[in-house]
Structure 1
């Protein structure tokens, strides 16, 4: 309770005096009180303890008092420093040669120097701390020293000035009476206050005005000199349509003396004075031009033609200027128009000649197209006519068994067989190139297994390469590609055949590389290489590089067929070659999903199975070529087949009806002369006797023939007839 008697707000001296008074009162009470049970002594102890606490409290208060005195000294020192800094700031601001004022974040004037507002004596007495920014602007707007812009009231000026106050930084000029100018710079401070600087720029503006006047005078002289030296006539009118400038070229173009031009004359007056000497071009007249000049809205540029009598043509261009005036330029285009007319006449003559030449070229193109079509038809027809006896020759040779040939004649028979194979290859190449050029080649894109294709190519070319002393390596591949199997095989056959033909020693390598979604088929050789200058020419028909001249070695059609077939299939074809080291041909083929393919039995087994399968069978040959019919008959009889034959479908139907025997299978030529075709004959037989095995044998390689056979379910064998293909057909029976 004694502690509660002390007021913390009292000074330390007062608190100490109170504590001493309390101590004395307690001691006196102890001395007056007697207690047999020792209570007096306990009170004495409490008084002693209380005295110790009072002593500690007094010491704390003493230290606090010392700290307070030190703080007061530092505060007084800081106050003196702030006042000194404020005085230094005021002195520094006063030394500034410009008017300076500082407004706080509440837009209240904090301080300003004596130069602030010195150009407006009627507001200086109000420029004291505490003045609001709005009040300052209101007094400035009503100052008699302010020169307001024309048609602007003090209230309008004050609103516009206050609007600028919202910008973070702004600099602008204020015009005063007596042609004096102030530049006002207003900037925001970091705490949201505003600093305003006023600079007298009267001398600068007067100097600038003087320099601008000199510059305008110089520009006027330059413009005048320029106008007088340009090759165009120019005249300038002000916003009221009065003439304010022109050049000498204008008078010479219009053949008008310069003294007839004078400043201030109106455009309408000039137009009226010269109306009898000029005429307007198409789309323009005097009323239209006058309306454009008098228009009060924004005028679009105007261009028209003006003629003076029949001897001068002027191209006129009129355009509005920023001050609502306009300028007109006159360009002499008489020579240009004459040149255009002459060019137009020459162009008409040229167009007639071009048309005449175009017609001649069209006739020549028609002749060329007809000649090309005739050539394609001739190649197809000639190939067809040649395939007939070729098939007969091959079949006759096939009927000759090894046991019937003397050893000394066997070599000649083998050479004859090779010669016929060469003729067959040449005819096949001619037919291929003819179809590819005519665009009649049809492709069937399907999955093709490269392992089977590579094995067949290896079996086909290994003996040929060995005979030439070359090593042929065909790398196996399990990839499946999307392509036409016939054309893909023909492409690789031609590339491998070319590599073997042109390689004198070394090896030929065939392989496939896997890339992203593609398979790159490559054929490498160690031949002489192909020069870069010849790498484009080798794909031309009948073009051969240092190859043997014998037709048995080819006619230079292989690579032409490869290029066209790759283009037809969409397989990019590439070539890389180095002279003396060899060549690599490559083509990109897209990959396909793997698909099962039937196995290919051994050729000797096929032949044996075919002979057993057709033993004692009856075959009917319908062929209008006597030699081919006889050759096929001999071959079939050699295999143990009984043969009936007829040269036409009509005779074959009659013979069957006459003998009353239905053959086991039919081999029918598609082109039987003027009567029915082979397919029509087979359809008739099936209509009369039900489904009978039949095969169309033809030299026609048109896609529609293959499509017709596929639609009817008839097997198709192309001429010249390969005995192995015929054996496969018989085995299938």
Structure 2
């Protein structure tokens, strides 16, 4: 109850409040207990009135909010119903069956096409139906066509197992050959959406296309089988004949194809048993047991024949579906050919034996004749040398008794002719000894300088007469060989090099190869074609028989036989119009292996002496290559020049030498660069000092050379830069 009437005017309410305030003041001034208690009650009543007023206003605001919420809820319900109606209408417009289950697997919504083909189930699919009950209803429908080996409960169990997947798609067969494709999806809130699509037309069309394709494949397979030269029989997993090709019709004469199709293998084998003869211990029982095996059959092959003489090679093999294929190949002609070849082989073997005996007799006669020839040559050579020596003595005494210049010239020529004849006779004598095996080798310690020095004095005038530079690199290596024969070998090789070199130079040097010394004779002569590189070691074989300097062709024959007798390896590398290299590998003396290699001194001008070094130059510019070669050889080194990387590799493989350094042009042709060639060579010959020659001044090339530790010589070549590279080359293995 309020002390002031809210309906009063503001003035009236203020007047009442003043009166109340005055009354209260009087009560306070009286100060008696009764009046104080009354004031406290009044004060409490005023406070309660204020609280009641606040609560009333709050309730009024709450009521307003409630009314507003009810209005909004009514609008939302209206919109929800509208949306649900629109969703239902939309679902009805689609051609698929649709159903929605909530997170609790309860049916929330479905359209009229959902399970429409399952008439006995459609009416029982109501809202709130659980998913398990839905599956149970579907599995029990009489319109669901399950496979014969699947029970409804089994189908329902499998369906519930797949329900746990995020996405499921499968086909369901109905009565009257109709098909539904069921697609199940999981929503973001954990619900389930099911779509049912009628795919009957699609499956029937695919089935027709598959049947058509199978028919085409069968025709193609039959055409392929008919094209084969072998007869082929095909049996299915039940051992029933399902087809053969035309070749079989004329092979074993089985029953007609139409009558035979579907015939069991055992029945067909019985009908053919009397017409077939099995070989090598194989019979029809083995083939029947192979076909009846329950485990995997291994391929097998055997031969059969007919009474008419035809022979067939039979091959049986299992197919993936447990069927099998048997092929028959007519090998009558091959077997007849093999028999004829066998008879011919027997005849030829008898002929070979007879011929071998004849050749054995002829070989014995040839050996006797060769021995007689060797004895005759040895005897004749010995007998001829004595009168020749006497003739030389008589001739040598004539110059003191003759004063005519013409007569002296005739005497000199006669003496030269006698010396030539003496050398020829000595060569024949050496050949006869080596052929007869009577040559005696006195193998001992031998310093190569003992051979090289006299040869330099003996052969230098001959080379100078032809205008050829003869260079003999001396060596203090000690080897084990026969002094006389080794000197004869080296002398013949150098003499031949001078004889067949029209211009240029001849080089004799030694290179260490492990525990051996490799004596090499290089020349820039005419070269030897590959077809003649074996025949030149035969007696009296000369490449230039017309030339007066060619000799009789005995020098290399002596070299080849002497090296064979001394067990010294003899090698040859040669290329026409470029030159040749003959090399003899002689074992070093055991004491020599402990001697340190001597250092090669520098020249008097302060530049490094490259005496004995071998450099590989790969440069396709002939003028630049010639200039660089002349400069390098001016310091005592030898240069092998190649125009391309392929030619360089071929040269190194043939001469079997490792260069001491390499100068490579950057552009080598064939798309290969000098740096790439160096990387390839590093795998074969590591740590060879190499410089790249190029006009390319790019940073990429400089970085590549730096990475590979290569020196870059920029074109045009600077003499000082080339000299700087040569000064950094380690000393060669040649020894002065």
TM-score, normalised by the number of residues in structure 1:
0.50
Q: Which residue of 2 aligns with 1:496?
A: 494
Deviation at 1:556, TM superposition (A): 0.6
Q: Which residue of 2 aligns with 1:348?
A: 343
Q: Return the alpha-carbon distance in structure 2 between the equivalents of residues 130 and 488 of structure 1.
A: 113
Q: Return the alpha-carbon distance in structure 1 between the equivalents of residues 314 and 581 of structure 2.
A: 69
Relative contact order (alpha carbons < 8 A, sep ≥ 6): 1 or 2 greater?
A: 1
CA contact (8 A) 1:573 1:586 kept: yes
Q: Return the alpha-carbon distance in structure 1 between the equivalents of residues 165 and 434 of structure 2.
A: 80
Deviation at 1:461, TM superposition (A): 1.5
Q: Which residue, 577, 581, 586 being the options, matches 1:585?
A: 581
CA contact (8 A) 2:168 2:183 kept: yes
Structure 2 vs 1, CA of residues 328 and 584 (structure 1 numbering), >3 Å: closer, same or farther?
closer
Deviation at 1:555, TM superposition (A): 2.0
Residues 1:523 and 2:518 aligned together: no
Q: Return the alpha-carbon distance in structure 2 between the equivalents of residues 222 and 127 of structure 1.
A: 55
Q: Which residue, 506, 511, 526 being the options, matches 1:509?
A: 506
Q: Which residue of 1 aligns with 2:374?
A: 379
- RMSD over aligned Cα atoms: 6.2
Structure 2 vs 1, CA of residues 289 and 573 (structure 1 numbering), >3 Å: closer, same or farther?
closer
Q: Which residue of 1 aligns with 2:359?
A: 364
Q: Return the alpha-carbon distance in structure 2 between the equivalents of residues 152 and 237 of structure 1.
A: 30
Q: Which residue of 1 aligns with 2:731?
A: none
The C-alpha deviation readout for 1:205-249, integer Å capped at 9, x for no partner, is 111112333444455566667777877666555544455556776
Deviation at 1:473, TM superposition (A): 2.9
Q: Which residue of 1 aligns with 2:205?
A: 207
Deviation at 1:542, TM superposition (A): 0.7
Structure 2 vs 1, CA of residues 245 and 555 (structure 1 numbering), >3 Å: closer, same or farther?
closer
Structure 2 vs 1, CA of residues 185 and 482 (structure 1 numbering), >3 Å: closer, same or farther?
farther
The C-alpha deviation readout for 1:161-216, integer Å capped at 9, x for no partner, is 78879999986545455534455678999999999876543322111112333444
The C-alpha deviation readout for 1:685-706, integer Å capped at 9, x for no partner, is xxxxxxxxxxxxxxxxxxxxxx
Q: Point out where structure 2 has 5 or more consecutive residues left out of the alignment.
A: 1-75, 597-736
Structure 2 vs 1, CA of residues 290 and 585 (structure 1 numbering), >3 Å: closer, same or farther?
closer
Structure 2 vs 1, CA of residues 503 and 543 (structure 1 numbering), >3 Å: closer, same or farther?
same
Q: Return the alpha-carbon distance in structure 1 between the equivalents of residues 504 and 297 of structure 2.
A: 85
Structure 2 vs 1, CA of residues 256 and 547 (structure 1 numbering), >3 Å: closer, same or farther?
closer
Q: Return the alpha-carbon distance in structure 1 between the equivalents of residues 488 and 351 of structure 2.
A: 46
Residues 1:559 and 2:565 aligned together: no
Q: Which residue of 2 aligns with 1:17?
A: none
Structure 2 vs 1, CA of residues 118 and 536 (structure 1 numbering), >3 Å: closer, same or farther?
farther
Q: Return the alpha-carbon distance in structure 1 between the equivalents of residues 533 and 147 of structure 2.
A: 86
Q: Return the alpha-carbon distance in structure 2 between the equivalents of residues 190 and 354 of structure 1.
A: 90
Structure 2 vs 1, CA of residues 408 and 463 (structure 1 numbering), >3 Å: closer, same or farther?
farther
Q: Return the alpha-carbon distance in structure 2 between the equivalents of residues 566 and 101 of structure 1.
A: 102
Question: Any idea what SS the aligned residue of 1:497 has?
Answer: helix
Q: Which residues of 2 match residues 577-726 of structure 1 at below 5 A?
A: 577-578=576-577, 583-587=579-583
CA contact (8 A) 2:377 2:432 kept: no
Deviation at 1:313, TM superposition (A): 4.9
CA contact (8 A) 1:93 1:113 kept: no
The C-alpha deviation readout for 1:480-531, integer Å capped at 9, x for no partner, is 4877464554333112212344457x66432448699786734335x66767
Structure 2 vs 1, CA of residues 113 and 230 (structure 1 numbering), >3 Å: closer, same or farther?
same
Deviation at 1:558, TM superposition (A): 1.6
Structure 2 vs 1, CA of residues 587 and 207 (structure 1 numbering), >3 Å: closer, same or farther?
same
Residues 1:570 and 2:569 aligned together: yes
Question: Any idea what SS the aligned residue of 2:553 has?
Answer: coil
Q: Which residue, 437, 454, 457 being the options, matches 2:455?
A: 457
Deviation at 1:575, TM superposition (A): 1.9
Structure 2 vs 1, CA of residues 447 and 495 (structure 1 numbering), >3 Å: closer, same or farther?
same
> How many residues matched?
502
Structure 2 vs 1, CA of residues 120 and 309 (structure 1 numbering), >3 Å: closer, same or farther?
same
Structure 2 vs 1, CA of residues 369 and 411 (structure 1 numbering), >3 Å: closer, same or farther?
farther
Question: Any idea what SS the aligned residue of 1:585 has?
Answer: strand
CA contact (8 A) 1:243 1:263 kept: yes
- Further displaced range: 239-248 or 436-445: 436-445
Structure 2 vs 1, CA of residues 198 and 563 (structure 1 numbering), >3 Å: closer, same or farther?
farther
Question: Any idea what SS the aligned residue of 2:540 has?
Answer: coil
